[in-house]
Amino acid sequence: MGAGEFAAIGRIQELLTARLGVPPPGETWVGDDAAVVQTPGGPLLLAADLVVAGVHADLGLEGLDDLGWKALAVNVSDIAAMGGVPGHALVTVAGPPETDLGLLYSGLVEAARRWRCPIVGGDLSNGPVVTVSVAVTGSLPRGRLPVLRSGAREGDLLFVTGPLGAAAAGLRALRGGSGDLESRALASRHRRPEARVAEGLAAAEGGARAMIDISDGLAADLGHLARASGVGVDLDHVPVAEGATEAEALTGGEDYELLFTSPDAGAVDRSFRMAGLAGPACIGRCTGRAGQLRLGGQPLEAGGWEHEWRWAGD
């Protein structure tokens, strides 16, 4: 009777394909981190995400400026996960009349400056809760193809750009109200996620064949990548951020590190080194057992958090 978010997205994809047709060659529509469309000047990346107060952010624990930052950063992260560079942002905001728009936009603008992605338009409306929707354009380095979720092959190595679980541990620290130094550092990983644009470029340069950002949690996003590519995954280990638990690293989500596959560890290492970046962690490899996720030989639950949707007629 019910349907989760991923099922609902699947139904919407079916409806769109049935009524709007399949994308022309070289384009990717719904289903990846960002869409890829062709323009006279080359491929254009398009991503949109929304952040709802009380759902994605507890305004008792973080500020409207943090919510603004997050709304823009998560879209930049989607562009990064294609191997792209952000271009411009559009921002729509719904909220009650007393919403502190100045505070909200100060966070949006900080993120826009951080990733050189100016806010060029948008809309305002009254509504019962603060809801911020951001759309971001992106481009690829000249001649480069986008890195989709679907390109992983059996034998590819799996990399992640940083240890995981800090955002979930940060939320736990905020809820616990502890003010010590480690807690404050973790909290800022929850409140102000970083989008890994430089890492996404280095991964693409290093021959990444599939990539996704870790927004839903490592296990869930591994599942998305494996399903899209028709591979399985054997993880050796999971790099856990200091102060986080392994469960937070596996299912916490909102870390916005990038997960990618490549057949060539040497090329990956070289391209990160040449970009002045810390090398990504190799955490396992892709197998031919489609859809099977394992950690240390044990089955891994894809899990991860979903919004609830009931689909009429189910």
Kindly identify the residues of this chain, within the stretch 133-172, that bind a copy of itself according to CB under 8 A: 133, 135, 137, 139
Report the site for a copy of itself in 87-116 (rule: CB under 8 A): 87-88, 90-92, 94, 97-103, 105-106, 109, 112-113
User: Which residue lies nearer to a copy of itself by CB, 144 or 270?
Assistant: 144
Q: How do strand 308-309 and strand 3-4 relate by DSSP bridges?
A: antiparallel
62 is a contact residue toward a copy of itself (CB under 8 A)? no
Q: How far is CA 283 from CA 44, 49, 148, 249, 265, in A?
A: 31, 28, 20, 13, 12
User: Which residue lies nearer to a copy of itself by CB, 139 or 287?
Assistant: 139
The piece of 51-59, 221-229, 254-262, 270-278 that touches a copy of itself (CB under 8 A) is 51-59
Q: How do strand 232-235 and strand 119-126 relate by DSSP bridges?
A: unpaired
Concatenated DSSP letters for 35-99?
Answer: EEEEETTEEEEEEEEEEEBTTTB-TTTS-HHHHHHHHHHHHHHHHHTTT-EEEEEEEEEEE-TT-
Report the site for a copy of itself in 23-42 (rule: CB under 8 A): 23, 27, 29-30, 34-35, 37, 39-42
Shortest Cβ 76–a copy of itself spacing (Å) = 14
User: Which residue lies nearer to a copy of itself by CB, 33 or 156?
Assistant: 33
Amino acid at 279: G
Report the site for a copy of itself in 209-248 (rule: CB under 8 A): none
Amino acid at 128: P
7 is a contact residue toward a copy of itself (CB under 8 A)? no
Amino acid at 170: G
The piece of 19-27, 173-181, 226-234, 286-294 that touches a copy of itself (CB under 8 A) is 19-27
262 is a contact residue toward a copy of itself (CB under 8 A)? no
59 is a contact residue toward a copy of itself (CB under 8 A)? no
Outline where the chain has alpha helix (H). 5-20, 64-80, 101-114, 166-176, 181-191, 197-205, 218-229, 246-251, 265-274
